[in-house]
Amino acid sequence: MKKIIVLCGIAGLVSLITGCQIPNRSNAPRFDPRPTTVWSNDLNGVTVKRTLDPTLLQPPGDMFTLGPGDQVEVELLGKPTSRNILTVGPDGKLYFDLLPGLDVWGLTIAQTKALFQKEMERYVSTPEVSVSLKAVNSKYVWMLGKVTRPGLYPTTAPMTLLEAMSIAGGTTKANSQTTTIDLADLRYAFVIRSGQSLPVDFQRLLEGDTSQNIYLKPDDFVYVPSSAAREIYLFGAVRTPRPMPLSEQPTLVSAIAAGGGPLRDAFLSQVAIVRGSLTAPEIAVVNYNDIIKGHAPDVPLQPRDIVFVPYSPYRVLTRYVDTILNTFMFSVAANAGSETAGGERVGTSVSVGN
* Sign (positive or negative) of CA dihedral 170, 175, 180, 182: negative
Q: Using alpha carbons only, what angle is made at residue 91 by residues 89 and 93, rounded to the nearest 5 degrees? A: 60
Architecture of domain 140-224: Roll (3.10)
pLDDT in tens, 250-288: 899 999 999 999 999 999 999 999 998 899 899 998 999
Give the pTM. Answer: 0.75
d(CA 238, CA 53): 34
State residue 230's pLDDT score: 83
CA gap 152, 225 in Å, rounded: 17
Stretch 313-337: mean pLDDT, rounded? 85
The Cα 220–Cα 329 span in angstroms is 13
Contact call for residues 207 and 162 (beta carbons, < 8 A): no
Residue 339: pLDDT band by 50, 70, 90 thresholds? low
Spacing of C-alpha 66 from chain mean position: 24
* Domain layout of the chain by residue ranges: 16-50+227-352, 71-135, 140-224
Contacts of 189 (CB under 8 A, 6+ apart): 145, 200, 202, 222, 223, 224, 225, 278
**Collapsing DSSP states into helix, strand and coil, what is residue 290?**
helix
Position 333 confidence tier, pLDDT thresholds 50, 70, 90? confident
Alpha helices in the chain (DSSP H): 109-120, 161-167, 202-206, 252-258, 288-292, 317-340
Computed over every residue of the chain, the mean pLDDT equals 81
- Domain 71-135 fold is wza like fold (3.30.1950)
Rounded to whole angstroms, how far apart are CA atoms 65 and 138?
9
Helical spans, DSSP H, in 178-243: 202-206
Where are the strands (E) in 156-226, listed by range?
159-160, 173-175, 180-182, 190-193, 196-198, 215-216, 221-224
Residue 192: which of 2, 334, 339 has the closest Cα? 334
- The pLDDT value recorded for residue 85 is 95
Convert the pLDDT of each residue in 59-79 to its tens digit. Answer: 988 788 999 999 999 999 988
pLDDT over 60 at 4, yes or no: no
Enumerate the β-bridge partners of residue 184.
226
CATH superfamily of domain region 16-50+227-352: Outer membrane lipoprotein wza domain like (3.10.560.10)
pLDDT tens for 6-48 read 333 333 333 333 333 333 334 444 434 344 344 443 334 688 8
Cβ distance 213 to 170 under 8 Å? no
Please tell me the distance from the alpha carbon of residue 314 to that of residue 103, in angstroms, as a whole number.
Answer: 48
Q: Are 118 and 110 in contact (CB under 8 A)?
A: no
The reply to whether 140-224 shares the fold of 16-50+227-352 is yes
pLDDT for 8: 37
